[in-house]
Copies of this chain bind each other. A is one copy, B any other.
Amino acid sequence: MKIGVLGTGIVGTTIGARLAQLGHKVMMGSRSATNEKAAAWAQAAGENACHGTFADAAKFGEILFNCTSGVGSLPALELAGRENLEGRILVDISNPLDFSQGFPPSLTVCNTDSLGERIQATYPELKVVKTLNTMNCGVMVDPTLIPGDHTVFLSGNDAEAKARVMDLLAEFGWQRKNLIDLGDISTARGPEMLLPVWVRLYGAFGNANFNFNVVRAEQTPA
């Protein structure tokens, strides 16, 4: 599959490298066609990897991964160009974190709205699927880093888009039973609002090697 990865940070390079390793054709997009980080990533990721502008990557990919920062997401999509986003699935991994007041970050949007919803509302051309934003990027692409069962949430309005993203998650190694479809894109508020406890757990543990698991009773308790 042809996939565009928006963003050159640790999330973008990790996701992009894994997709290329799995045999997908991956173009990393950034503000500049000559971005040095993107060029270095493409060099390291091998023959399945290339890079270009946000617009190049949006044109290239059937599926796009939004690996930009929370504040960078809408600007990146604007640079990608509305005409290049038509019909694309956008896997939105971003979190609307505000580090301007230091640690812990707050959220720039939450409670009655979410970044996932804002992206979907701004770009109705996209099929936004919010997922993977509740864990470290190493865990996103290799769930076996954390022992046993643990959860990845999905939110989005388009059932077929969610099904295709679930297939990609299965390629990453996720077991189907650990994928939880929360519902439409408005449910993205929930996973985005997990970040405040995530950052405190990171503080308490001193590392990001954890994930949330939703454990269900097998039978209805009396």
Q: Would A200 and B190 count as touching, CB distance under 8 A?
A: yes
- Flag whether A197 is at the interface (Cβ < 8 A): yes
A207 to B211 CA separation, bound complex (whole angstroms)? 23
For the complex, is A9 an interface residue (Cβ under 8 Å from B)? no
In the complex, how many angstroms separate the beta carbon of A74 from the nearest chain B beta carbon?
A: 19
CB distance from A212 to the nearest CB of B (A): 6
**A161 in contact (CB, < 8 A):** no
* Chain B residues within 8 Å of A217, by CB: 145-147, 209-210
- With contacts A213-B213, A221-B138 taken as known, whether A197 is within 8 angstroms of B190 at the C-beta atoms is yes
What's the tally of chain A residues with a CB closer than 8 Å to chain B?
Answer: 45
**Does residue A106 face the partner (Cβ distance < 8 Å to B)?**
yes
A181 contacts partner chain B, Cβ-Cβ < 8 Å = yes
Instruction: Given A213-B212, A217-B147, decide whether A196 and B190 contact each other with a Cβ distance below 8 A.
Output: yes
Assess the A215–B180 pair: CB atoms within 8 A: no
Binds B, one of A42-50, A56-64, A107-115: A107-115
Task: Mark out the residues of chain A between 101 and 157 whose CB falls within 8 Å of any chain B CB in the assembled complex.
Answer: 106-107, 110-112, 138, 145-150, 153
CB distance from A34 to the nearest CB of B (A): 32
Q: Shortest CB–CB separation between residue A64 and chain B, in angstroms?
A: 25
**Residue A16 lies at the interface, judged by CB distance under 8 Å to chain B:** no
> Of B110, B187, B214, which is within 8 A of A193 by CB?
B110
Whether A203 sits at the interface, judged by CB under 8 Å, is yes
11 new A-B contacts, CB < 8 A, other than A106-B112, A107-B111, are A110-B110, A110-B193, A145-B221, A147-B218, A187-B200, A190-B198, A190-B199, A193-B197, A194-B197, A209-B220, A211-B215
Q: Closest 5 A-B residue pairs measured CB to CB?
A: A190-B197, A209-B217, A193-B193, A213-B213, A190-B196
